[in-house]
Amino acid sequence: MLTKKQWEHCLDEMDKMFPDAHCELVHDNPFELTIATLLSAQCTDALVNKVTKTLFQKYKTPQDYLAVPLEELQNDIRSIGLYRNKAKNIQSLCQKLLTEYNGEIPQTRAQLVTLPGVGRKTANVVLSVAFNIPALAVDTHVERVTKRLGLCRLKDSVLEVEETVMKKTPMEKWSKTHHQLIFFGRYHCKAQNPQCHVCPLLDLCREGQKRLKKGLVKGHE
């Protein structure tokens, strides 16, 4: 397992590689971010942005999403995976916002996770990005990178990963760390063909060392 000092070194290196790491879901307000994050489950941010480019022009408020038949909303997000379920959740979420939160996105995790389609990961993204409240969302990239590096155990649950990363990372860096890990995982330490042979963290990474030893890394002679 990585020590706190080794983990800080990892974050410093990621910061050098991706100094501008940020939320890649395009949005103008907390409501749009919540909808975009809900849509991003098992889907790429790039595809979500393609859909929301027109979606957010048509739907500006919770009332707008409720003013159309479910089938019309489903059709508007049809290119996104699980679109039927996501459309239902969006309308249910909008209804709940209007009846319980005056049409506004709530600013606590406990309230956010009561919204249809909003789990802990989405809630943490909204808290961190929309409201600048320290939180650390664990998605597939965060989980993969922290386990490969050995900060977390392979058997750790998503919640255990979140708790470990928060424990080893200063609170004021949680939001930034989330984005750095996503960029590092999305563009460098990919699920398929990670760039171990040119990775500045190779000396600390058991997974990378194993891969190089077994000749599993493309581009390495």
Q: Residue positions in the annotated binding site? A: 189, 196, 199, 205
Phi-psi region of 209 (alpha: psi -120 to 50; beta: other; left: phi over 0): alpha
121 catalytic residue (yes or no):
yes
Task: Decide: 73 and 51 in contact? Cβ < 8 Å.
Answer: no
Q: Which of 121, 156, 167, 168 is catalytic?
A: 121
Q: Which of 139, 173, 176, 218 is catalytic?
A: 139
The shares of helix, strand and coil residues in the chain, as percent rounded to the nearest 5, are 60, 0, 40
Annotated binding site for [4Fe-4S] cluster: 189, 196, 199, 205
Q: Which residues are catalytic?
A: 121, 139
